Amino acid sequence: MQISNPTRRLAEFLLGGVVLVNHAAFSANVDYFTDNGFGNPSSTLQHPTGEFYKGTTYLAYQGPHEDSYVCAYNHARREWSGPVLAGVSLMGKTPDPIDNSDVDNHGKPAMMVDRKGFIHVVYGAHGGSPLLGRNPFGAPAGTPRGGKLTHLVSKNPEDISSWEVVDNVSPFGTYPQFVQMDDGGVYLFYRHGSHRSDWVFQKSTDDGRTFAPPVSVLKHKAQPTDVTVHDAWYAWFAKGRGDTITASYIYHPCANPGHTKDRHNAYFMRMDCGDDSWDNIAGERLTLPVTKESADQKTLIFNTGAERCNHGTCRVDREGNPHVFFRYDKGQVRYSRWTGSVWTGPTAVLPEGGSGGQDGDMIVESSTTVRMLLTSSNGDKGEVGWWNTTDGGQTWAKQPPLLSRVGGGYGIGALVENFTPEGMVVVSASISSQHLYRQMILLGTDGPVKRPEAEAANIVKDLLKIMKTGPLKSGDKQVLAVKKGKKKEKYMEEE
């Protein structure tokens, strides 16, 4: 379908149409599949953001106005479809800001494909709003920045062209994380509100069509010695071995007033999905919700002291033993594993004095062989590539980068669920210092999955053109879905 008018072409994208440009076969291939990622389009904390299902990789990310977009890649036909607007975010602003501090960035989507092929996307909230009612597990965010956690399902299996809202999750969620078990059971984990809120899960036994009420896992509460500081958490949940789910998490002393970005310590626990009970690495049963006192006593991996650390990811080996990494100040990754009797390390993946800005995910091939796919930065140079260990994390070998650029870094999400070597992870790259639109890249073992430039590019050009024409026409207003919002507060979490 050839669309000559820029506004009409933009409308096709933003209103859910899949545009296939006639002359795409004759255009050059580029490394990115679209250029309308926005702000921080994906991260490891909202995950998975992609899944391989029956020959196609489906991907969700944050696009213009912080809305959720979806693309799909058919590996056999080597054919892309999308981007398609799946859902509109209440936190977006129009025109899109050019300063990232004005973008909330917490409403990024998590995605899964159920057993019947229907695609699920959960997105759109940073704690919710008091207008949505009372939050029984914590404090909702202020109006209007809190948004609303929204669950979308594709109207047809294996089809990204049309979507419907399924109103079965709490509106107060932040950092949604899907975990789908082998029997089809679905767990949706998230923080139930803003900073001072519990982490919870909702469980579905019918492929996400209905969810049970939230169950609290990690407890927020005022500290006994200082009620202005609350125990709070950042957690990462993933499928373990067999019928288990792992949780790796860090502690956040949330002060008000005087809020800081302090994050400390590393913790681990595990869920038995047979009865939804939790235990620590030694097999001791835990009482839910886990408090700071209980976490320190029973689930602590290591105490960081005055050093600040942030969440990473957790994967298990064939024996079910967890391997974790956490990010320290300056973004450097430190790794630890459970040997069956003790936690190792933590050991730095980068050598002393190496570059920072690391984030990513890992593949555990054995108890001692691990591959990490990480971003890194050194001055004005950014890279994405593998770091490998064969001795249980004592030493790490850097491989030649898969992506490298001067003048900016990369953003990265968690590994695509059920990934194939051709498409393993979504990476974002800035296009210009003049705006926050990003090129979105599906990266595999041999580099990016390419797309004809006529399909991947020019979306941002149309957006910028509309923004510069000043005041918007009525048709453009419908396309851009004008929304107003306050400037992002300085104390909000980093992404």
What is the DSSP code (8-state) at residue 40? Answer: S
Q: Is 175 designated active site?
A: yes
Tokens found for residue 147: 């948004």
Find the farthest-apart pair of alpha carbons in the chain and give their distance in angstroms, rounded: 68
Active site residue 106: yes
In this structure, the number of other CB atoms found within 10 A of the CB of residue 286 comes to 18
Residues in the chain: 495
Name the packing angle between helices 6-14 and 459-468 (round to 10°): 110
Separation between Cα atoms, residue 184 and residue 425, nearest integer Å: 23
Q: CA–CA separation, 398 vs 384, rounded Å? A: 11
The one-character DSSP state at 342 is: -
Cβ-Cβ contacts under 8 Å for 470 (sequence gap 6 or more):
none
From 47, 58, 61, 106, active-site residue: 106
Tell which phi-psi region holds residue 90, choosing left (phi > 0), alpha (psi between -120 and 50) or beta: alpha
| Distance of alpha carbon 283 from the chain centroid | 30
* Three-class DSSP category at 22: helix
Residue type at position 98: I
β-sheet with 110-113: strand ranges across: 110-113, 119-125, 147-154, 163-165
Residue 60 makes CB contacts below 8 A (sequence gap 6+) with: 42, 49, 50, 68, 69, 70, 86, 109, 110, 111, 121, 123
Check residue 343 and report its DSSP letter. B
Rounded CA-CA distance 156/153 in Å is 8
Beta carbons of 86 and 77 less than 8 angstroms apart: no
Return phi, psi of residue 101, to 5°: -70, -15
Question: Which residues, including other chains, have CB under 8 Å from residue 448's CB and lie 6 or more apart?
Answer: 31, 32, 402, 403, 441, 442
Distance (Å, whole) CA 406 – CA 268 = 37
- Bridge-partner residues for 230, per DSSP? 222, 254
Q: Would you call 101 helix, strand, or coil by DSSP?
A: helix
What would you report as the CA-atom Rg of the chain, rounded to the nearest whole angstrom?
A: 22
Q: Which of 32, 53, 73, 175 is catalytic?
A: 175
Best CA proximity match to 81, nearest among 184, 189, 159: 159
Residues marked active site are found at 106, 175
